[in-house]
């Protein structure tokens, strides 16, 4: 009897090459998750000053140590290369990489869309995943949808906690209702040292009254420190421009005007300052108004 081999099984046995763009706190955390996986292999990464490539798999501990001590993956020996256009240079060398996690700061607000455009122009094909936050930034990527599809790129946006996991929880809870009246997402984030998440904190500062993306982007580290000293390290955020609204609207859950997002970020302690939760209020199929938390 002839043994038939399923070609899909053969492909699935090979580790899928993947990369990370951006190597701050989020990028390093992603690398730590990716590196031990058997089904995928972390082979490329880039930061602002350089990139590293190893088809046999990058060593996550050496990569993080090099970045933290020397400021760039470009100094990683022998895999690193210093570059003033690290993202473009890395994409050129990544035609065999199947997917990227874009752990990049979306500063300015058009940055992530411009990176997606680079992938399109170079002719790369594969899967791109991001964890960006702002509604307007996600809308830019939605506008690129037809170009991404034509280029052979699958783009998955809003894959953080919010938008992301909590958005999915809201969509799941919404199935209990005939009509959703309100989705309220409240998050708590604790960071032991803001320095490891500089870009993320700047993006959060941009949501504070009196600030926007450009003012937050232009702040020096000393100015950020001064602001955090003034607030005892706490950032209280309300009515944020978060893409949970447009994602839930596109999914047919409810209009974006019914979605609110806010939370508290503690930049000096790893413990969450409050419990993260999602509240969904709506009219049930029995005609009653109720709230799920």
Catalytic residues: 133, 203, 207
Measure the CA–CA gap between 102 and 128, rounded to whole angstroms. Answer: 7
Measure the CA–CA gap between 239 and 135, rounded to whole angstroms. Answer: 12
SS3 content of the chain, % helix, strand, coil (to 5): 40, 25, 35
Angle among Cα 266, 257, 156 to the nearest 5 degrees reads 65
3-state secondary structure string across 216-279: HHHCCHHHHHHHHHHCCCEEEECCCCCCHHHHHHHCCCCCHHHEEEEEEEECCCCCCCCCCEEE
Tally of residues, the chain: 293
Name residues whose C-beta falls within 8 Å of residue 101's C-beta, 6 or more positions apart in sequence.
18, 19, 20, 21, 27, 30, 34, 129, 130, 131
């Amino acid at each position: 009897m002839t043994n038939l081999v399923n070609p899909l099984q053969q492909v699935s046995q090979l580790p899928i090459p993947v990369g990370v763009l951006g190597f701050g706190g989020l990028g390093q955390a992603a690398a730590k998750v990716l590196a031990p996986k058997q089904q995928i292999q972390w082979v490329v990464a880039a930061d602002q000053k350089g990139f590293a490539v190893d088809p046999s798999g990058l060593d996550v501990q050496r990569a993080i140590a090099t970045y933290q001590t020397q400021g760039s993956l470009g100094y990683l020996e022998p895999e690193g290369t210093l570059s003033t256009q690290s993202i473009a240079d890395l994409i050129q060398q990544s035609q065999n990489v199947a997917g990227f996690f874009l752990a990049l700061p979306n500063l300015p607000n058009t940055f992530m869309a411009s990176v997606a455009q680079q992938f399109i122009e170079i002719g790369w094909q594969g899967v791109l995943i991001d964890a960006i936050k702002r509604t307007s930034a996600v809308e830019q990527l939605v506008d690129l949808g037809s170009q991404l599809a034509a280029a052979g790129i699958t783009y998955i946006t809003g894959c953080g906690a919010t938008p992301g996991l909590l958005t999915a929880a809201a969509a799941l809870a919404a199935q209990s209702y005939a009509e959703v009246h309100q989705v309220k997402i409240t998050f708590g984030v604790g960071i032991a040292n803001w320095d490891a998440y500089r870009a993320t904190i700047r993006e959060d500062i941009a949501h504070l009254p009196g600030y926007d993306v450009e003012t937050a982007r232009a702040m020096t580290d000393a100015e950020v420190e001064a602001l955090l000293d003034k607030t005892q390290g706490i950032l209280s955020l309300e009515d944020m421009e978060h893409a949970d609204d447009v994602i839930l609207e596109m999914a047919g859950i409810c209009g974006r005007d019914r979605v609110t997002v806010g939370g508290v970020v503690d930049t000096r302690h790893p413990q969450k300052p409050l419990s993260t939760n999602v509240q969904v209020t709506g009219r049930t199929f029995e005609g009653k108004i109720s709230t799920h938390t």
